[in-house]
Structure 1
């Protein structure tokens, strides 16, 4: 890595912790790029530290990464949110044959079904307490040091976060209804049923398509309905969950991804559609294999 030397024992020790540190930062921030930046900052801080004062390097680094990640999360809360379709987000895609509930809670080294989306609903201190304790088994006392709270207060934060995460896992009638709205839209788009499309589209719906030639945004139910054919081809795709939203992924006959769609549904109508049909972007994504 930049700034390290292969014969430097501190650099070698840091490298032995790199994967775990990256995993901690990614689960905190939901962005590989941000996680890499956090890990690099942790290395810079270690390089300025008198390592003779560090009894437990792994614990020290986890604390540093936790603190940096917490600062990033808190700074995000002070900035205006970017709409889901305004720029190409990092997509977390899973097919809709969900794993057993225990697979979702016992995350191991995987991100989980839509865990990052769930974690985004937590306060930064709740997210830190949950990720470090429930995913990485960091003691509450050490987490409390990062947060400036007692071990008992930190335990309460983790418990509150755990309840929110577990509640988000449970299948809900709202989730099923959202999927039904999406299926109705896809069927109407496939068959060219204009009036049916208008029934399931919010009057101010936003349709963002990422193509090889750029990103194009269409606003309004009438305009989106007239351009819905690009989504109609996805009706033969496979239902998926995309960043916690109902979605659809389609493949060509040779297994190459053709399109990825994500829908936002509120009060029985689609308020936002994001479509990715750029082959180069699709090829770079970690997408499920065809079924």
Structure 2
């Protein structure tokens, strides 16, 4: 039996921390790929450290990953990314599907977190979701514990003031089903019944983004669905109720996310760009 050397022991300890670190970075960055990159950067920095120079490996890794994440978030603010470059889609097969609900709540929280400043987001995620003390978070941000606590408190108030999905998806699913049925038959009046008068529909295409405003304009465009030979399924898209559509060749043609308030669709965001859809980790088409 061989003894484990200092470097091997550190590597083993790091692997024990990996899942926690990836989960933490994912909450802060909203992207699994970016979270993996942040944790990998932490490993590279750890590999350059003398094992005896780190008293608390968990705390050290949390600090490093936190600093990497805050740099990524600040870069994003300086150079905003194109919306919906990354989509997370889960087919919604019914209210009994607990996985869909869990994904919906988690993704909806990520959407709200995107509205926070990088510092507030980091303070809230680390303290409220991972129980990191304010003193440690303050060291990452270069702020006092009191200032860090205030950041987290403001983020908490904003998050708690924004409604998350409830356990019953049935009403929202019914609205989407009514929208689909009206679009398939070209029922203009039926479309108007489920669209908010001030609805906005943004479509990200290969040529850019188009925007349609108002129920009349959106319903007129949606009427064209009666000529489309597509198969659509309810889904949870980036935490919101939505739809995924396939053509006869089982190719994804579009992904749509909807905001539904009081039984009416107030906002729709669709992605139809084939190049972007091809890059997405989308579920298999229905049988």
Same fold (TM over 0.5): yes
**How far is 1:233 from its partner?**
4.8
Q: For residues 111 and 62 of structure 1, what CA distance do their matches in structure 2 show?
A: 25
**How far is 1:62 from its partner?**
0.6
- When the two chains are superposed, the root-mean-square deviation of aligned CA atoms in Å is 4.5
What's 2:249 paired with?
none
**How far is 1:122 from its partner?**
1.3
What's 1:207 paired with?
203
**How far is 1:125 from its partner?**
1.0
Change in 2 beyond 3 A, CA 1:218/1:129: closer
Q: For residues 165 and 18 of structure 2, what CA distance do their matches in structure 1 show?
A: 36
Residue aligned with 1:76, SS: helix
CA contact (8 A) 2:202 2:270 kept: yes
**How far is 1:202 from its partner?**
7.2
1:228-247 matches, within 5 Å, as 228-229=225-226, 230=228, 233-234=231-232, 237-238=233-234, 240-247=235-242
Q: For residues 231 and 134 of structure 2, what CA distance do their matches in structure 1 show?
A: 50
What's 1:254 paired with?
none
CA contact (8 A) 1:208 1:274 kept: yes
**How far is 1:6 from its partner?**
11
Q: For residues 111 and 88 of structure 2, what CA distance do their matches in structure 1 show?
A: 10
Match of 1:193 among 187, 192, 197: 187
**How far is 1:260 from its partner?**
5.0
1:82-121 matches, within 5 Å, as 82-84=82-84, 87=85, 89-91=86-88, 93=90, 95=92, 97=95, 112=106, 114-121=108-115
**How far is 1:44 from its partner?**
1.3
Change in 2 beyond 3 A, CA 1:197/1:207: farther
Give the unaligned 5+ runs of structure 2.
247-251
CA contact (8 A) 1:261 1:276 kept: no
**How far is 1:68 from its partner?**
0.3
Is 1:67 equivalent to 2:67 in the alignment? Answer: yes
CA contact (8 A) 1:27 1:111 kept: no
> Which shifted more, 66-75 or 90-99?
90-99
**How far is 1:191 from its partner?**
1.8
Match of 2:128 among 131, 134, 148: 134
Is 1:80 equivalent to 2:80 in the alignment? Answer: yes
Match of 1:248 among 243, 252, 261: 243
**How far is 1:228 from its partner?**
2.4
Change in 2 beyond 3 A, CA 1:99/1:184: closer
Give the unaligned 5+ runs of structure 1.
210-214, 252-256
Change in 2 beyond 3 A, CA 1:177/1:83: farther
Q: For residues 168 and 136 of structure 1, what CA distance do their matches in structure 2 show?
A: 21
TM-score normalized by structure 1? 0.68
CA contact (8 A) 2:30 2:110 kept: yes
Change in 2 beyond 3 A, CA 1:82/1:277: closer
Match of 1:147 among 133, 137, 141: 141
Q: For residues 63 and 52 of structure 1, what CA distance do their matches in structure 2 show?
A: 17
**How far is 1:190 from its partner?**
2.3
**How far is 1:274 from its partner?**
3.5
Change in 2 beyond 3 A, CA 1:231/1:82: farther
